[in-house]
């Protein structure tokens, strides 16, 4: 498939030149999660607009495979302008569509780690999830 080569290049580009890598000075919320199966770890910082619902800025940091880091970079570009409700409605298909390549079942958790960390952070911020009940399984 011709398009998949382009997407593979895009993943490598995001891995080698991550967008929004680092941390926000004063995030509205920050959350860390890991994929214990392969050792990927990502921290997502999110800053909300004054309305308390619209995502204004996102930064991430962490270590891991090309898929997890590229997905975090891509997600950090896609989330600004979305609401917390829209973030919480995202599912793995949204991330897989964003990546644009077939991901093996063993790598799905790598691909969706950043999304899961951002969603867990939002739910903790909203008081809907306790910090000790978060899961990255």
Check whether 135 has a pLDDT greater than 80. Answer: no
Per-residue pLDDT tens digits for 20-41: 999 999 999 999 999 988 899 9
pLDDT of residue 136: 46
* Spatial strand order in the sheet of 29-35: 29-35, 40-48, 55-63
pTM of this prediction exceeds 0.85: yes
Strand bridging mode 29-35 / 55-63: unpaired
Instruction: Enumerate domains of the chain plus CATH numbers.
Output: 2-127 (3.90.1010.10)
pLDDT of residue 132: 60
Residue 123 Cα to chain centre, angstroms: 14
Rounded to an integer, the average pLDDT of 128-132 is: 77
């Amino acid at each position: 498939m011709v398009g998949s080569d382009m997407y593979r290049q895009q993943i490598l580009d995001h891995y080698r030149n991550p967008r929004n890598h680092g941390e926000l000075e004063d995030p509205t919320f920050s959350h860390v999660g890991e994929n214990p199966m392969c050792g990927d770890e990502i921290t997502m910082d999110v800053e909300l607009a004054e309305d308390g619902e619209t995502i204004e800025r996102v930064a991430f940091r962490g270590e891991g495979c090309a898929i997890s880091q590229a997905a975090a970079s891509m997600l950090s570009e896609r989330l600004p302008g979305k609401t917390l409700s829209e973030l919480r409605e995202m599912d793995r298909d949204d991330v897989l569509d964003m990546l644009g390549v077939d991901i093996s079942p063993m790598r799905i958790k790598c691909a969706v780690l950043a999304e899961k960390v951002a969603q867990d952070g939002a739910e903790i911020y909203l008081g809907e999830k306790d910090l000790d009940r978060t899961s990255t399984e």
